[in-house]
Structure 1
Amino acid sequence: MLRNYLVVAFRNIFRNKLFSTLNILGLAFGICSALLIFLWVNDELQYNKFHTNIDRLYRVMENQRYSDGRLYTFAATPGPMAPYIKEKFPEIELATRFTWSVNHLFQNGDKGFYEPGHFADQDFIEMFTFPLLQGDQKTALKEKNSIVISRKMAEKYFGSEDAMGKMLTMDTKDVFTVTGVLQDIPKSSSIQFEYLLPFQYFFDQNKNWLEQWDNNNIRTFLLLRENTDVTAFNKKLEDEIKNHAESTNVKLFTQAFGDSYLYGDFENGQQSGGRIEYVRIFFVVAVFVLIIACINFMNLATAQATKRAREVGLRKVIGAVPRQLFKQFMGESFVTVGIAALIAVVATLLLIPVFNEITGKALGLNLLDARILVTFIAIVAFTAFVAGSYPAFFISEFKPVQVLKGQLKSGSRAAAFRKGLVVLQFSLSIILIISTAVVFRQMSYMQNRDIGFDRENMFYVWMESDISRNFETFHNRLADAEGIESVTASGQLPIGIGNSTSGFNWEGKNKDERILFTILNVDYDFIQSMKMEMVDGRAFDRKLATDTINYIVNEKAAEKFGFKNGVVGQDLAYGENKGKIIGIVKDFNFGSLHNPIEPLIMYIQPRNFECLLVRTKVGETENALHSVEKLHKEYAPGYPFRYTFLNQDWENFYKAESQRGKVFNTLAVLSIFISCLGLFGLSAFSAERRTKELGIRKVLGASVPGLVQLMNREFATLVIISAGIGCPAGWYLMTKWLEGYAYHVDVGMITLLVAAAICLLIAVVTVSYHSLRVAMTDPVKSLRYE
């Protein structure tokens, strides 16, 4: 029996080559896209899961409430906290301080490179599963001059030699001894680094601010003991800062480290999403594409049911029951999907390199991996069941008497079901087209938005060695160099400012009032060099010595002071620094467009400049780079010259979102293509079924355009109905998505109309091809048809 079913299945596939090809191609594209997305989703879900103690690892977070009612959540914590709370709370087994990623120059002989890494306490290696190939896990970071490096870094500096005990020079002066070599850091780790240095070294270098409990600057990770009640522990930890700072607005809590990668966003002190939102969106879109492919199969299978009617009638006459026939046709569905799945696997293997380039991943299709194999089987089974269930049920219910008498009608119910599937298919396609257009426009908007200063023709260099100590001389020499329009400096990059404080005071301020201000240390000509706009007052002036204690604020900050007689000229104090507000700069974006512009205060503190910003003359970038490099070698001879264009950094700021946008757009195009395959097959079947009718109409005087219009009317109506469903749904979904950006485009009526018009045009063109072919056939041949 099984052999007979398989023979019949393959015979029908080869007998109806056009429809079989359309079915298999549509299913293959659907399975391929779903497989790629599920590989991406699986990779995202597996981040950090390799840590042995992942269920007991936590990071300490801060909720900070301010006078305007806003509650900010930060992952930054005080420097002295980790060792203190480790001793105080028995629930903590291990605790480590961990800096944000830093780039230092390392040298061994004539080899020198900048490497990314972190400073961490000894407990870090014991808490997290980053195994050592060499070295003692319990002592590798005990000594201040020790360094643990990756295997990649060991091979880079020492080749095939044993790296243990070897010396590396950091920043041309400090020497560290290699006390451990790590295995390669898994790509599924949210913490990536090439080296670890003892936190004690970092603490001694920055003791003046790391000792303060009201200064939040590093991360704290905890390994809690087994069976710890985390909720109860959070209650004990919550007010710990109050025991060390006279006045604080901080509440502490812990977040599971396993959740930190996907659930990184907080709003009003509560977890509000993060990367998990994109995981969910891509999962849903992949299911959409798969359903669109299944709809093709269902439509074409039910449309061709009449060709299998006599076979079904004969099988029923000789004793077949509906259950057996259902199994037969479901089996044929599985055969078709199986062929499509094999093609999909080949396509996936071919497309994975391109997909990895788009997403920045390193995915692979290893069907020996149990998780991937189960996912693949689930996709195939889901597709086969969804695609084949209704056609199998529909065909197995044919009445043998009607079939054998030739009285079988396709039925209005089946036709209505097919039309409903077409409407669903194109509704999903319209939603994806709207989504694609909005994502593309938002990405373009973020890349090209006027953010309040000119990013073009500007690059930056980190101020190393003697550059910072001799900044004024360096600045003056560089300002007159070839190719350079202007030179300035700052404590941080103007598109990634991370420092903030509530420590400012002014006349009339309530002593209990807390307002968070972002702060930026800048050079005198920072405003002019960045081509920012002053709203009121003036910029800093090198000729005025008093400007070293004065301030410039942005419009958002000016609103916070509450001065009745204007802001410019008012006194403002930050600790011991008491000066005046000399100007208001127009608001500019110094962070993500997801968030609104925050209050900003700029001041001058040359000894803490870290970033040299150079604006080049138009068309003279090479000359400017040469001028800076020449002077850089003079003031920082041991350091390789490295530079980055500000515009490039801004693009990298949204690189991950741009990658996700490209994936989304690709899926949308693919869904439209699959829909076209289905529509192509349906319109071919419809034209074939109405061949005699069109021949009669032509004999009676109908024109070819009239016949084409007649054929198009049915499908055009379905697309218009789809637009009525898809446009409102697409508008709602993308409006909700755009709410995640403080600055964004609008969905707009034009986007909805264009999406509907695209689908309508595709339908008309596809159907017209078959309509023209049949309508232009000689009526004599049409009337002989069948």
Structure 2
Amino acid sequence: MLKNHIKIAWRNFIQHKWYSLLNLGGLAIGMACSILILLWVQNESSYDTFHTNSDDIYRLTAIANEDFKAAVSPAGMIEQIPHQVSEITSSLRLSAPFEALVEIDNQKFKEEPIFYADSNFLDMFTFPLIEGNATTALAKPDGILITEKTAKKFFGSEKALGKTIKIDNRDIFTVTGVMADVPPNSHLQFNMIIPMAYLAKTDNDLINKVWDSFNFYGYFQFEKGAISSQDDVTIVTEKINQIYAKRQPEFVITFNLQALKDIHLKSNLQIDLPGHGNVLYVNIFFIAAFIILIVACINYMNLATARSARRAKEVGLRKVIGAGRRQLIFQFLGESLMISFISLILAVGIVYLFLPAFNNLAQKELLFSLGNNNLWISLLAIALITGLISGSYPALFLSGFKPIKVLKGRLKLSKYNLVFRNGLVITQFVVSVLLLIGTMVIYNQLNFIKNKNLGYDKSNLIYVPMEGEMWGKQEALRSALSQNPLTSDFSIVTDLPTNLITGDFDIHWDGKDPDSQVLFPNLVTDQNFLDVFQMKLANGRGFSKTSSKNNDYLINETAAGIMGYNAETALGKSLTFRGDKGTIIGVVKDFNYKPLQYAIEPLLMQNREFGSIAVIKAAPKTTESTIAALENIYGRLNPAYPLSYNFVDGDLDAQYLGEQRMGTIFNVFALLAIFISCMGLYGLSAFMTEQRFKEIGIRKVLGASAVRLVNMLSKDFLKLVFIAFIIAIPIAWFGMNKWLQEFAFHVEIQWWVYLAAGFTVLFIALSTVSFQSIRASLASPVKSLRAE
């Protein structure tokens, strides 16, 4: 029996090649898309799971002012909390990642990212050593850990253990360990690790073990089984908050514990490590994979039912000679499973072919290894589920034909079948409308980000960090920059106004509520800052050469509002910041100094003659010559360091690479899903014309024109598109608004977006259907009426 079913399925497959190719193409593309998306989802969900103690490691995070959530904590607190909370066995501090000049055998490299880490780094995290002893690798202040890739870069085929590395032209470290390269699914990405003991020689936070300065990333490892539920996390968190409240009663800070496995996807925190994902995108793409597979299954169903009339007599004959409905169901399910497994083979080939392009698009290193047993189980499950879902309706539908009716040629479809089939098509239209609306909204938001006026001119701004001797030669640097016309439009600042991460509570003004705690980011600038960035003043004036001596302050409009002033009344008011009393001399119009995910916060600006970054405004079309001039200046003042420069607008664009990447991936899969839907619509139009073939012949004999016949066959789709449009609008509105809420500044979804999506789907649907309609209307009526 099974052999007979397979033989018949194969015969049908060969005899109807075009129909079979449509089925194979739709299912193969749908499966391939789903496999690629699920590979990406699996990778995003696997971050930090490779650590042996991943279930017992948590990161300490802080919340100030309810809205300011940060990933950093005080150095002293991280070190001392384990002594006061029994469930915690150890703690680890990490510095912010940084770049350094590395010298090996008189060869110099700019290397990043580098971390300072406590000596138990390799005890808490599972980063295997290829060379060295994990217990002692970070015990000495002048030791250094490097990755295998970095070791090959620095020392080639030679053993790196025991070799020396010079950093920033002054510090000499000995390689005490070579680690296996950091897995791509680690939230910590680094090339080198330097002992925290080295930084502790000069860093005030570490020397004084402070609890009020938030500059380090803190991790706690708990006893096995100490944290088994969210209630356990809540209990320990309350203990930590009580300890901090007693130690620092003047600050209202709330701390949370973030599971290590949650850091990559659930870290909507400021001052965080770069490269995080977003759990919302993971959920969206997981649903997209499911939807694309369902659309492919609907496509198969529609194509199968389109051929129902051709197979009706086959079913009737089988029933007459004794075949039961169960046997027929198994036969048709067997056919769909055969198509499904052949489609799986094609899908695997498509995945192998396009995985490099997908990796390039997603900036991932996804692997598709058929030697993985779990992968085979997943693939076979996808094929089995796809085959059963796509074949279930055709099997039940075709096996239900009455033999007497079909053999007499009186095949009449029930109202239920018509409603179900229309429901499938409506589902495809709903998906198409949703995907088109999503594509347009994402494009509009990314375009809004790209073109938004941030409150300053970001174009042609080149910035150079202070390195080496330049720290002590800033007056000479100012003089050199001023004397060259290409570089004379410059400002020296402590931070760029692109992603400001500073913040302080120690700020006071007349009339301030003593119980009020407001976090003020602050920016140290010079008198050229407003001109270089072309910022606007709401009132007052900018800094002058004497402003640093007078403790003059600039604030933004948001800060003025929090203080109870406006742009006019704030001028001349007294302000004390970190004990330095001064006067507000100007109010700057609000500008975005953080990514657009965050609302504009109060900002305070001070005037100082020294900073850590020089920003140069290049004149239009002079960028290359300006960089050449900077190389000459830095070559004279700081010969030991090669010039390192970047562009402000480049940094701003990099902040939204994740959103841009996800938008591109979404667009690609949206187009593929719509393409699969078109194949399904082609199937349904074939079904409709097949069912009305004789009616069309009669109408043509009675004088109906081709245009009228096309309109008759296509009008039903207008109803389906309209119903789908009504269903899709609230779903799209809810989903896209939820995504837009990720941004404090975002576009509003305009009515024309919905209308454009509806008309586009209608055009695609009618174009697809019209092919079959025109073909049927042009056919000779003799063929359809020959048997009458």
TM-score (norm. length: structure 1): 0.95
Residue 234 of structure 1, aligned match among 234, 237, 242: 237
Counterpart in the other structure of 1:718 = 720
- Is the aligned partner of 1:264 residue 2:267? yes
Counterpart in the other structure of 1:33 = 33
- Is the aligned partner of 1:517 residue 2:520? yes
CA distance in 1, matches of 2:682, 2:420: 18
Counterpart in the other structure of 2:70 = 74
- Is the aligned partner of 1:450 residue 2:450? no
Counterpart in the other structure of 2:80 = 84
- Give CA-to-partner distance per residue, 1:730-754, whole Å, 9 cap, x none: 1222122212211111111100000
Given that 1:62 and 1:73 are in contact with CA atoms closer than 8 Å, whether structure 2 keeps it comes out as: yes
- Is the aligned partner of 1:121 residue 2:124? no
Counterpart in the other structure of 1:352 = 355
CA distance in 2, matches of 1:256, 1:154: 32
Residue 93 of structure 2, aligned match among 82, 90, 97: 97
Given that 2:200 and 2:206 are in contact with CA atoms closer than 8 Å, whether structure 1 keeps it comes out as: no
Q: Which amino acid aligns with 1:644?
A: N
Matches within 5 A, 1:234-383: 234-265=237-268, 275-383=278-386
CA distance in 2, matches of 1:126, 1:203: 20
CA distance in 1, matches of 2:281, 2:373: 25
Deviation for aligned residue 1:73: 2.7
Counterpart in the other structure of 2:666 = 664
Range with greater deviation from structure 2 (731-740 or 339-348): 731-740
Change (3 A) 1:240 1:143: same
Deviation for aligned residue 1:779: 4.1
Given that 1:521 and 1:603 are in contact with CA atoms closer than 8 Å, whether structure 2 keeps it comes out as: yes
Counterpart in the other structure of 1:270 = none
Change (3 A) 1:485 1:767: farther
- Give CA-to-partner distance per residue, 1:173-214, whole Å, 9 cap, x none: 111111111111111101000011111222222216863211
Range with greater deviation from structure 2 (279-288 or 728-737): 728-737
CA distance in 2, matches of 1:194, 1:684: 60
Residue 606 of structure 1, aligned match among 592, 609, 617: 609
CA distance in 1, matches of 2:353, 2:384: 23
Q: Which amino acid aligns with 2:453?
A: D
Q: Which amino acid aligns with 1:220?
A: G
Q: Which amino acid aligns with 1:621?
A: T
- Is the aligned partner of 1:217 residue 2:215? yes
Given that 1:325 and 1:396 are in contact with CA atoms closer than 8 Å, whether structure 2 keeps it comes out as: yes
CA distance in 2, matches of 1:784, 1:485: 90
CA distance in 1, matches of 2:135, 2:466: 36
Counterpart in the other structure of 1:55 = 55
- Is the aligned partner of 1:172 residue 2:175? no
- Give CA-to-partner distance per residue, 1:678-701, whole Å, 9 cap, x none: 112222343344343223222322
CA distance in 2, matches of 1:221, 1:727: 45
Matches within 5 A, 1:398-437: 398-437=401-440
CA distance in 2, matches of 1:773, 1:404: 28
- Is the aligned partner of 1:576 residue 2:579? yes
Match of 2:200, SS? helix
Given that 2:306 and 2:683 are in contact with CA atoms closer than 8 Å, whether structure 1 keeps it comes out as: no
Given that 1:312 and 1:396 are in contact with CA atoms closer than 8 Å, whether structure 2 keeps it comes out as: yes
CA distance in 1, matches of 2:787, 2:194: 83
Deviation for aligned residue 1:547: 5.7
Matches within 5 A, 1:93-172: 93-115=89-111, 116-172=113-169
Q: Which amino acid aligns with 1:744?
A: H
Change (3 A) 1:577 1:118: same
Match of 2:521, SS? strand
Match of 2:201, SS? helix
Structure 2: unaligned runs, 5 residues or longer: 271-275
Counterpart in the other structure of 2:698 = 696
CA distance in 2, matches of 1:527, 1:498: 20
Deviation for aligned residue 1:241: 2.2
Residue 751 of structure 2, aligned match among 741, 745, 749: 749
Range with greater deviation from structure 2 (305-314 or 753-762): 305-314
Given that 1:595 and 1:742 are in contact with CA atoms closer than 8 Å, whether structure 2 keeps it comes out as: yes
- Is the aligned partner of 1:202 residue 2:199? yes
CA distance in 2, matches of 1:694, 1:685: 14
Change (3 A) 1:425 1:208: closer
- Is the aligned partner of 1:2 residue 2:28? no
Given that 1:716 and 1:763 are in contact with CA atoms closer than 8 Å, whether structure 2 keeps it comes out as: no
Q: Which amino acid aligns with 1:703?
A: S
CA distance in 2, matches of 1:82, 1:730: 44
CA distance in 1, matches of 2:63, 2:650: 33
Change (3 A) 1:210 1:753: farther
- Is the aligned partner of 1:623 residue 2:625? yes
TM-score (norm. length: structure 2): 0.95
Given that 1:488 and 1:525 are in contact with CA atoms closer than 8 Å, whether structure 2 keeps it comes out as: yes
Deviation for aligned residue 1:705: 1.6
Deviation for aligned residue 1:776: 2.7
CA distance in 2, matches of 1:546, 1:88: 44
Range with greater deviation from structure 2 (300-309 or 3-12): 300-309
Deviation for aligned residue 1:545: 4.7
Residue 597 of structure 2, aligned match among 587, 594, 610: 594
Deviation for aligned residue 1:82: 2.8
Q: Which amino acid aligns with 1:96?
A: L
CA distance in 2, matches of 1:785, 1:682: 25
CA distance in 2, matches of 1:663, 1:719: 26
CA distance in 2, matches of 1:11, 1:778: 29
Q: Which amino acid aligns with 2:181?
A: D
CA distance in 1, matches of 2:70, 2:787: 75
Q: Which amino acid aligns with 1:557?
A: A
Given that 1:727 and 1:756 are in contact with CA atoms closer than 8 Å, whether structure 2 keeps it comes out as: no
Range with greater deviation from structure 2 (726-735 or 524-533): 726-735
Range with greater deviation from structure 2 (175-184 or 235-244): 235-244
CA distance in 1, matches of 2:552, 2:387: 71
Change (3 A) 1:395 1:34: same
Counterpart in the other structure of 2:182 = 185
Match of 1:409, SS? coil
CA distance in 2, matches of 1:479, 1:707: 79
Given that 2:52 and 2:125 are in contact with CA atoms closer than 8 Å, whether structure 1 keeps it comes out as: yes
Range with greater deviation from structure 2 (769-778 or 529-538): 769-778
CA distance in 2, matches of 1:519, 1:585: 13
Counterpart in the other structure of 1:14 = 14
Q: Which amino acid aligns with 1:692?
A: K
Q: Which amino acid aligns with 1:197?
A: I
Match of 1:238, SS? helix
CA distance in 2, matches of 1:784, 1:445: 62
Given that 1:430 and 1:726 are in contact with CA atoms closer than 8 Å, whether structure 2 keeps it comes out as: yes
Range with greater deviation from structure 2 (667-676 or 728-737): 728-737
Counterpart in the other structure of 1:44 = 44
Match of 2:447, SS? helix
CA distance in 1, matches of 2:558, 2:44: 37
User: What number of residue pairs does the alignment pair up?
Assistant: 775
Deviation for aligned residue 1:566: 0.7
Residue 649 of structure 2, aligned match among 647, 650, 673: 647
Deviation for aligned residue 1:350: 0.9
Deviation for aligned residue 1:261: 1.5
Match of 2:513, SS? coil
CA distance in 1, matches of 2:237, 2:732: 41
Deviation for aligned residue 1:546: 4.8
Deviation for aligned residue 1:368: 2.1
Q: Which amino acid aligns with 2:142?
A: N
Structure 1: unaligned runs, 5 residues or longer: 268-272
Deviation for aligned residue 1:266: 6.8
Counterpart in the other structure of 2:273 = none
Match of 2:158, SS? coil
Change (3 A) 1:785 1:770: farther
Given that 1:302 and 1:414 are in contact with CA atoms closer than 8 Å, whether structure 2 keeps it comes out as: no
CA distance in 2, matches of 1:118, 1:324: 67
